Amino acid sequence: MTETPAPPLIFPSELVQTLRSAHRVVVLTGAGISAESGIPTFRQAQTGLWTQYRAEDLATPEAFRKNPRLVWEWYAWRRNIIANSKPNPAHLALVKLEDQIPNFTLITQNVDNLHQTAGSRKIIEFHGNIFRTKCSNENRVVETWFDTGEVPPRCPSCNHFLRPDVVWFGELISEAALSAAFRSVQDCQVFISIGTSGLVEPAASLPRLALQHESLLVEINLEPTPLTHQADFILQGLSGRIIPQLIAKVWPDLQP
Ligand code: BV8
C-alpha cells in the first residue's frame, strides 16, 4: 500500500521573512544532522564491537595514552561507516542556504566531512575532521606514512603514534576555529542550531553568545535541549525533512 505523503510543513511568517532578508546567518550543526545519513550520534549507544564503550570515554587523550590501538581502531570503524554514507537532504539544503546569504558561516561540531562533501564552503570545523591524521607528538597533519602493519601507525619524522586530527574531550578548540566562530556569532542576525544536544562546551555557548547580540535564535532538533527555552523558533522534527522545506518556503524560485 503506497503511503500518503506527509502534508508540507508550515513555518512562521516572521521566520520566513527574516531569513529572506537576512545578510548575516550562522548555522551550528551537531551529530543529529548526520543521523539520517546513517551515522550514529554521540548520545546513541554504540553498536557491534563498540557496544561496551561510551564515545565520551574513547574520545579523550587519556584513552589514547592508555590504549592507542583501541582508539585508532574506533576511529577507523567510524571512518568506514562515514565512507559508506552520503550527505542527506539537510546537508544539501544548507548549501542552498549558503548560496542565498551574503555573509554565511557554518560551524560544525561534526568530524564526518559530510558538509564538505555536500558542497558547503564556509565551514568552521570546530572539532576537527576524522579524515585528517596528525602526529600525536608534533601536532602537525601527516598525509602519508609507512604502513608497517603496526596500529596506530607512526609518524615518519619522529616515530610517535599518529592520531586522528579531532579535538578530544579535555583538549582545546583550535585558536583559529574559536576566534572565527566567535567573530561570526558577534554580529549575526540569525543563528540556527541544528541537531545538537547543546551539552558540549564551548560549542554550546555559541547560540547563547548570539542571543547576547540580539540575534534571532532558531533550533531544529528531534527533542528539547537546554537551548530550547531560549529559542525564538523551535522546529521539532527530522532536520532532513525540516531544512529543505524551510529553504523552499523562503526561496520558492530555487531549483529543488
Ligand atoms: C575544552 C570530536 C577547555 C571527537 C567532540 C572536565 C574535564 C575536561 C573538560 C571538561 C570537563 N567538563 C566539561 C568540560 C568541557 C568539555 C565538555 O563540554 N564536556 C561535556 C561532555 C560536559 N569540553 C571539552 O573538553 C572541549 N574542550 O573545553 O577545552 C578545557 C580543557 C581542559 C580542561 C577543561 C577545559 C572539547 C570538546 C570537544 C569534544 N569532541 N568531537 C570525535 O568526534 O570523536 S564532541 C562530540 O560531541 C561530537 O563532536 C558531537 O558533535 C558532540 C556533541 O554532541 P552533539 O553533536 O550534540 O550530538 P549528540 O549526540 O549529543 O546530540 C545529537 C542531537 O541531535 C540530539 O539532541 C538529538 O535529539 C538530535 N537529533 C538526532 N537525530 C536528529 C536530530 N535532530 C534533528 N534531526 C535528526 N534526524
- Identify the bridge partners of residue 26 per DSSP, sorted by sequence position: 105, 191
Per-residue pLDDT of the chain (256 residues; tens, 9 = 90+): 778 888 899 999 999 999 999 999 999 999 999 999 999 888 777 777 777 888 888 999 999 999 999 999 999 999 999 999 999 999 999 999 999 999 999 999 999 999 999 999 999 999 999 999 999 999 999 999 999 999 999 999 999 999 999 999 999 999 999 999 999 999 999 999 999 999 999 999 999 999 999 899 999 999 999 999 999 999 999 999 999 999 999 999 998 7
Give Cβ neighbours of residue 256 (< 8 Å, ≥ 6 apart): 248
- Summary count for the chain: helices (H), strands (E): 9, 8
Residues 245 and 144 in one domain: no
- Do 95 and 16 share a structural domain? yes
- Looking at the DSSP bridge assignments, the partners of residue 74 are none
* Residue 145 sits in the same domain as residue 243: no
Specify the pLDDT at position 223: 97
Has residue 256 been placed in a domain? no
Q: Are residues 57 and 183 in the same domain?
A: no
Q: Tell me, yes or no, whether 188 and 203 share the same domain.
A: yes
Measured between alpha carbons, how far is 243 from 246 in angstroms, rounded to an integer?
5
Going by their DSSP bridges, the two strands 233-236 and 216-221 should be labelled as: parallel
Q: Please tell me whether residues 233 and 157 are part of one structural domain.
A: no
| Residue 160 annotated to the active site | no
CATH number at 207 reads 3.40.50.1220
Task: State which amino acid sits at residue 77.
Answer: W
pLDDT of residue 66: 96
**Domain region containing 75:** 40-84+133-166
Distance CA(125)–CA(173), nearest Å, equals 10
Query: Cα(202) to centroid of ligand 1, in Å?
Result: 9
Residue ranges lining ligand 1, Cβ < 6 Å: 30-32, 35-36, 41-43, 56, 59, 109-111, 127, 166-173, 195-197, 199-202, 221-223, 225, 238-240
